[in-house]
Copies of this chain bind each other. A is one copy, B any other.
Amino acid sequence: MRRLRLGMVGGGDGAFIGAVHRIAARLDDRYELVAGALSSDPERARASAAKLHIAPDRAYADWAAMAKAEAGRLDAVAIVTPNHVHHGPAKAFLAAGINVICDKPLCLTLDQALDLQQAAAASPALFALTHNYTGYPLVRQARAAVADGLIGAVRVVQVEYPQDWLTTRLEETGQKQAAWRTDPARAGGAGSVGDIGTHAFNLAEFVTGLRCESLAADLTRFAPGRALDDNAHMLLRFAGGGRGMLWSSQVAPGNENGLRLRVYGDKGGLEWLQEEPNTLIFSPFGKPPQRITRGGHGALPVAAHATRIPSGHPEGYLEGFAQLYRDLAEQITARIDKREPDQAALLVPGIEDGLRGMRFITAAVASSERDSAWTKIE
């Protein structure tokens, strides 16, 4: 399987979403990170690139320079900067004929968006926007279920995305994520609406396959002194007569990333919650609700396409597995480097654990053969 040559704009040391993009690119081994403008600070750009095994001559501090120099040498670029640095790089890389993967929301203003639409149309390159929740197997299952008519004509759409991390003025403490997301200059004209409301909106349209035609909104700034909305309530009207509600909030204590979608048609309903993404509730009208699991009974091919492991292992299983590899890498590297390993990396099971397992099996079989007599695990 070909590995594509990937570049990245943004995502230097300490960034959150850049690291997520790199893990996502690596997971299926289809990309190799070979170039980057990881920071606008040259020193930080260089140091971040070195840590990521990017050759020094492909480490840039200027995305415009990178776009020019890398034309023909990259298969794709990932743009993982704050919102106000989406439009420029996206346009530059499209112009260079390089496929673009851009974090959401698209940019700062509707004018910028229309401009990018033209740029994308004029370029031979693809443009992808990481509305990442559409990558969940059961979100795709839900979309296919609606398209297949399993819930009939859509009547009601309930979508919400509550968080609690901005309940207080976190942006005052110097926390970087909070700082730019509550700053109109860097986030645009909306707060919770732009940051997470767009995810909710996209999810509703993605799953229903319907266009939302109009809305009535009530945006609020609850934290005293905040410049952008931190809570939003909306009524929605969809093409074809469906009605809906949308709630986004960053001030709802007890909620982490509670993106939830419920869709009801004249023949059934669907419910999905991002924090328990491996389950989809399907309620055919007049029958008991069914619990569909990723890859389990009732899963459609489109869900299987987006699945790497058997049902019942939550997506998240892979991270647990990877943790052992990471901790062992730390141990091995420490040996090579002749230093003490990180204490937290010492929990990897070893030969003694394997021996325990064999003793357990041996004792279990022996006990059972002796009519369940108590048997020592030596």
Tell me, yes or no, whether A227 is within 8 Å of chain B by CB.
Answer: no
Tell me, yes or no, whether A180 is within 8 Å of chain B by CB.
Answer: no
The stretch of A7-15, A56-64, A214-222 in contact with B is A214-222
Q: Which residue of B lies closest to A295 (CB)?
A: B256
Q: Is the CB of B253 within 8 A of A235?
A: no
Number of interface residues of A (CB under 8 A): 196
Alpha-carbon distance A361/B113, docked complex (angstroms): 12
List residues of chain B with CB within 8 A of the CB of A92.
none
| Copies of the protein in its oligomer | 4
Tell me, yes or no, whether A372 is within 8 Å of chain B by CB.
Answer: yes
Tell me, yes or no, whether A93 is within 8 Å of chain B by CB.
Answer: no
Whole-angstrom distance between the Cβ of A338 and the nearest chain B Cβ: 13
Q: Which residue of A75, A345, A361 has the most chain B CB atoms within 10 A of its CB atom?
A: A361
Tell me, yes or no, whether A65 is within 8 Å of chain B by CB.
Answer: no
Whole-angstrom distance between the Cβ of A184 and the nearest chain B Cβ: 11
List residues of chain B with CB within 8 A of the CB of A237.
218, 374
Alpha-carbon distance A348/B127, docked complex (angstroms): 9
List residues of chain B with CB within 8 A of the CB of A347.
134, 140, 143
List residues of chain B with CB within 8 A of the CB of A104.
349, 354, 357
Q: Is the CB of B216 within 8 A of A373?
A: yes
Q: Is the CB of B110 within 8 A of A358?
A: yes
Q: Is the CB of B324 within 8 A of A128?
A: yes
Given contacts A26-B27, A193-B365, A256-B312, contact A216 B372 (CB under 8 A): yes
Given contacts A254-B268, A364-B219, contact A167 B126 (CB under 8 A): no
Given contacts A193-B361, A215-B367, A320-B133, contact A155 B251 (CB under 8 A): yes
List residues of chain B with CB within 8 A of the CB of A267.
253
Whole-angstrom distance between the Cβ of A306 and the nearest chain B Cβ: 5
Could you list 18 A-B pairs, sorted by A, with CB under 8 Å? A20-B318, A24-B322, A26-B26, A29-B52, A120-B351, A126-B332, A129-B351, A129-B354, A134-B349, A151-B253, A197-B364, A201-B356, A214-B375, A215-B367, A252-B269, A276-B276, A277-B317, A287-B290
